[in-house]
C-alpha cells in the first residue's frame, strides 16, 4: 500500500457516510483500513438504493456503498459476542487509529469506552463522529444529514429565496464531518510523534456545517445580519452568479473592479454608470445588475458567450451534469476517475481521490500519487485473513471485556 500513511492501521467501526468517508480518505492516503461490519447485513448503506449493480450470483451491490468504501478490507464482527469482541480487542491493540460513529456512550456499553481503549493501546488515536456533539443539552441526538443541514443553518441560506429552503445536492454535513474527522486524525498522529500518546478527536455533523459558514457566519456574528437564501447569486459580490442567455445559462464572476470593467468593455456597457461603479453599489442593486446583463446576453448562445468571456479574461463556466463531468478531459487528467475490479460486480469506475502528491527535486517534480486502489469490499471478505494475521501476531490470549446489551446506537 503506497502513500503517506503507509504502515498506519485504521480500524473503522463506522457505517453510513460520515465515518466511512473519513476512513476512505485515510485509505486513499495509504493506510490499511479494516472495516468492521455487522454480520448478516453489514454497513447500512449496502442496502441503500437504487441504483444497485446486479451480480452473477443473483445478488446486488449498492452504488451508495461504493462511494465511501474503496481501499478497505471487511471483517464481520458481532460486538455483543465475546469471541468477536476478542478479535476487535486484538485489532485495537495493533491499531494506530479507531473510527466510530455510535451515539455517545454506546461504545462504552459494548465494553470499549475511551478508558478501555487507552489501556489497551495508549498510542491509539480515536475519531468519534456524532450528530450534534458528544455532550451539551442535545448531545445524545441521532445525526442524519438533512436534519443537520437544517439545524445548522445551511438550508436557510440555500434556495431561491427566504421561503424556499433547500438542502445541498449531496449529504454535505456527513461529508464535511468525515473530512474534518480525517483532518483531526492526521493532526493527532502528528502530535503522537512528539508525545508518544494518542488521544480522542471528536467532531459532529453540527460542528462540520458551522465550521464552513465562512463569511455567512461572520455576517451574523460580526455584522448582525441573518443571511437567507437568494438563489444563484453571491451575497457580497456583484455580478457573481448564474446568468441566462440564449438557449441556456452561464456562470461568471467579477471578483474585482478590474474584472467588472473588462466585462463592460466586452459588451459595450458603461462601467462607471451611476449606481454601478463599485461593488457595494452593485450588490445593493443586484437585481438591476442581473437584468442588465441578462438583457445583453439574451441573443447570445452559451458557447459563444463563454468564448467571449474567456477572451475578455472574465472567469466563467457552464453548469455541467454529472455525465458531462465524468467525460470531461480535465477530470480525467486530474485522476478523478479510477478503475477497479470488484469481486462480484466486475469492473467499476469510481470517483477518484482529490489529492495528488509530487516529490520535488533538482530535476523537477515526480508524481508519487497512489495508483493501486482496491475496490469496496464484499461483506466479511477479509475476515479469515485478518483473524489468521491476528492469531499469528500475538498468540498469548486477549481480554474479553463484558458489554451490556445495547440497541442500535449509531449516530451518523
Q: List active site positions.
A: 174
DSSP 30-48: T-EEEEEE-TTT-SGGGG-
Work out the angle between the directed axes of helices 18-28 and 172-195 (0-180°, nearest 10): 50
Q: Which of 185, 3, 13 is nearest to 97 (CA)?
A: 185
Is residue 385 within 8 A of residue 87, CB to CB? The reply is no
177 vs 185: CA distance, rounded Å: 12
First-to-last C-alpha distance (Å) of the chain: 29
Within 10 Å of residue 170's Cβ, how many Cβ atoms?
A: 11
Angle at 28 (CA atoms; ends 50, 367), nearest 5 degrees: 130
329 vs 326: CA distance, rounded Å: 8
Q: For cell 460486538, what's the residue?
A: 79
Q: Give residue 117's Cα distance to chain centre.
A: 27
Q: Which of 49, 77, 79 is nearest to 62 (CA)?
A: 49
Phi-psi category of 385—alpha, beta or left, where left has phi over 0 and alpha has psi -120 to 50? alpha
Q: Which of 18, 405, 401 is nearest to 206 (CA)?
A: 18
Amino acid at each position: 500500500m503506497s502513500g503517506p500513511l503507509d504502515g498506519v492501521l485504521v480500524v473503522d467501526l463506522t457505517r453510513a457516510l460520515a465515518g466511512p468517508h473519513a476512513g476512505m480518505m485515510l485509505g486513499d492516503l495509504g493506510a490499511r483500513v479494516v472495516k468492521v461490519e455487522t454480520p448478516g447485513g453489514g454497513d447500512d448503506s449496502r442496502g441503500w438504493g437504487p441504483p444497485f449493480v446486479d451480480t452473477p450470483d443473483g445478488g446486488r451491490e449498492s452504488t451508495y456503498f461504493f462511494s465511501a468504501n474503496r481501499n478497505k478490507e471487511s471483517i464481520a464482527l458481532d460486538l455483543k459476542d465475546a469471541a468477536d469482541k476478542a478479535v476487535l480487542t486484538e485489532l485495537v491493540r495493533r491499531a494506530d487509529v479507531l473510527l466510530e460513529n455510535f451515539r455517545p456512550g454506546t461504545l462504552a456499553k459494548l465494553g470499549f469506552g475511551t478508558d478501555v481503549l487507552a489501556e489497551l493501546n495508549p498510542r491509539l488515536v480515536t475519531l468519534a463522529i456524532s450528530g450534534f456533539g458528544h455532550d451539551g443539552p442535545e448531545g445524545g441526538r441521532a445525526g442524519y444529514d438533512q436534519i443537520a443541514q437544517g439545524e445548522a443553518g445551511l438550508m436557510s441560506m440555500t434556495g431561491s429565496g427566504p421561503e424556499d429552503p433547500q438542502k445541498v445536492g449531496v449529504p454535505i454535513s456527513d461529508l464535511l464531518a468525515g473530512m474534518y474527522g480525517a483532518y483531526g486524525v492526521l493532526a493527532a498522529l502528528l502530535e503522537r510523534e512528539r508525545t508518544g500518546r494518542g488521544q480522542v478527536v471528536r467532531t459532529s455533523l453540527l460542528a462540520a456545517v458551522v465550521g464552513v459558514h465562512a463569511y455567512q457566519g461572520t455576517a451574523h456574528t460580526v455584522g448582525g445580519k441573518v443571511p437567507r437564501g437568494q438563489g444563484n447569486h453571491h451575497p457580497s459580490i456583484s455580478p457573481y452568479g448564474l446568468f441566462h442567455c440564449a438557449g441556456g445559462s452561464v456562470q461568471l464572476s467579477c471578483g474585482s473592479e478590474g474584472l467588472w470593467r473588462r466585462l463592460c468593455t466586452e459588451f459595450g456597457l458603461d462601467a462607471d454608470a451611476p449606481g454601478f461603479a463599485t461593488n457595494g453599489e452593485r450588490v445593493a442593486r443586484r437585481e438591476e445588475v442581473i437584468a442588465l446583463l441578462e438583457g445583453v446576453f439574451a441573443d447570445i448562445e452559451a458557447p459563444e458567450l463563454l468564448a467571449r468571456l474567456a477572451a475578455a479574461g472574465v472567469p466563467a463556466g457552464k453548469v455541467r451534469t454529472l455525465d458531462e463531468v465524468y467525460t470531461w478531459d480535465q477530470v480525467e487528467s486530474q485522476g478523478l476517475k479510477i478503475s477497479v475490479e470488484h469481486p462480484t460486480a466486475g469492473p467499476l469506475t469510481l470517483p477518484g481521490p482529490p489529492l495528488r502528491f509530487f516529490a520535488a527535486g533538482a530535476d523537477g517534480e515526480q508524481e508519487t500519487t497512489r495508483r493501486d486502489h482496491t475496490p469496496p469490499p464484499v461483506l466479511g471478505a477479509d475476515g479469515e485473513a485478518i483473524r489468521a494475521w491476528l492469531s499469528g501476531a500475538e498468540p498469548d490470549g486477549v481480554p474479553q471485556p463484558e458489554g451490556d446489551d445495547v440497541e442500535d446506537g449509531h449516530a451518523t
